Structure 1
């Protein structure tokens, strides 16, 4: 079943570091320490997959704060988000700011026709594939200590922290995560630039599909 708890942590990035590699099969994360009014949160961003030789996939891009809806104006702290469009929740497949590339230049056409053409012609944002090290190297440049940060995912059941900071739908039938598939519950890491825009890091496992049904299962 989809997550019982899903939301966003708003705070200030104080530290980030990689897991120490070992030989015990531990999953590899980039760890964030985020300051909020109720304490310092531990956030584990998954940049490793044991289910695919391809590893992980990711996107890094920048969006206007307005594209994120109400979350950009939330006070520091953890906030539950309704798993639906318009709440501030994320869905890599359905959220227009995450699914598509930048708006096309203004066209000398009636506004309605221009908007319709823009939706059809806007390029999709491609995924980059690589190893856990490649993914960590892609994420770390946006992790500027002192920046405001938004971390989307599932809160820890005990203690201050966030996990499942990655796509949370599209897992195949038979995988241990099939039951957790759901729409509008994807994780992400975003940091606010000095100009007010947000640098965005999205990440998924290569076994997760890019087309899902209303339950978040692959189609």
Structure 2
């Protein structure tokens, strides 16, 4: 089932740093510290996978604030988001600002849209690489003092965010199958001086890019 809670943290980036690797090969994160009126949030962005040395994929690009809907105008703090296309929630496969292919008209049947997706060359292909490659790509947009939007699941205790990555398309039998859902993807966005947002999307190579209405892979 989808997450019990999903939302966006709006705040100011005060610090970022990488995990210190240990001898057991722990999951590797880039950690953000984000200031908001109720305190300093801890945000752990996944840039690693145990499946292979290149099990993580990412995209970086820039969008206008108007493409993000209501979230760009939210005051600082954590905000719960409905899992809908109008709330400001993110979906890598459905959000018109995030899709790597044209947004086909909604009146086209889903099977036809999938065929068209297969014919069209992606405008923003995924980059694959090591955890260090992904960390470096993310760090390019992490400027201390910038306003940030961090999408994901809030901590159950304390101030923080995790599951800051694609949260759908995990294959049947994986530990994360039950958490698949649409309009609940995580991402890291930082606001540029010109008002546009630099976007970092990240997923694992096992996650599929065609999903049904429950977020399960097709």
Q: Normalized against structure 1, the TM-score is what? A: 0.89
Gaps of 5+ in 1: 104-119
Q: 1:23 corresponds to which residue? A: 23
Q: Deviation of residue 26 (structure 1)? A: 1.3
Name the CA distance, whole Å, in 1 between partners of 2:90 and 2:50: 25
Question: Deviation at 1:25?
Answer: 2.8
Distance 2:157 2:77 in 1: 16
Closer, same or farther in 2 for the Cα pair 1:211/1:15, shift >3 Å? same
Q: Is the 8 A contact 1:58 1:203 kept in 2?
A: yes
Distance 1:173 1:121 in 2: 27
Question: Do residues 146 (structure 1) and 159 (structure 2) align?
Answer: no
- Measured after TM superposition, the shift of residue 218 of structure 1 is 0.5
State whether residues 167 and 186 of structure 2, in contact with CA within 8 Å, keep that contact through their aligned partners in structure 1.
yes
Match of 2:177 in 1: 178
Question: How many residues of Structure 1 are paired with residues of Structure 2 in the alignment?
Answer: 203
**Residue in structure 2 matched with residue 32 of structure 1 by the alignment:** 32
* Gaps in structure 2 of 5+ consecutive residues: 104-118
SS of residue matched to 1:96:
coil
Q: Which residue of 2 aligns with 1:161?
A: 160
In structure 1, the residue matched to 2:213 is 214
Shift of 1:141: 1.1
Q: CA RMSD in A?
A: 1.7
CA distance in 1, matches of 2:98, 2:21: 31
2:111 equivalent in structure 1:
none
What TM-score results when the alignment is normalised by the length of structure 2?
A: 0.90
2:94 match = 94
SS of 1:138's equivalent in the other structure is helix
Residues 191, 50 of structure 1: alpha-carbon distance in 2 compared, 3 angstrom cutoff: same
1:23 deviates by 1.0
Shift of 1:177: 0.3
Map 1:1-219 onto structure 2 (within 5 A).
1-100=1-100, 124-219=123-218
Distance in 2 (CA, whole Å) between partners of 1:24 and 1:161 is 25
Provide closer, same or farther for how the CA distance between residues 28 and 178 of structure 1 changes in structure 2, counting only shifts above 3 A. Answer: same
8 Å contact 2:101–2:120 — kept in the other structure?
no
Higher mean C-alpha deviation, range 44-53 or range 158-167: 44-53
Instruction: Supply the distance in 1 between the matched residues of 2:138 and 2:2 (Cα, whole angstroms).
Output: 26
1:125, distance to aligned residue in structure 2 (A): 1.6
Counterparts of 2:120 and 2:3, CA distance in 1: 34
Question: SS at the partner of 1:162?
Answer: strand
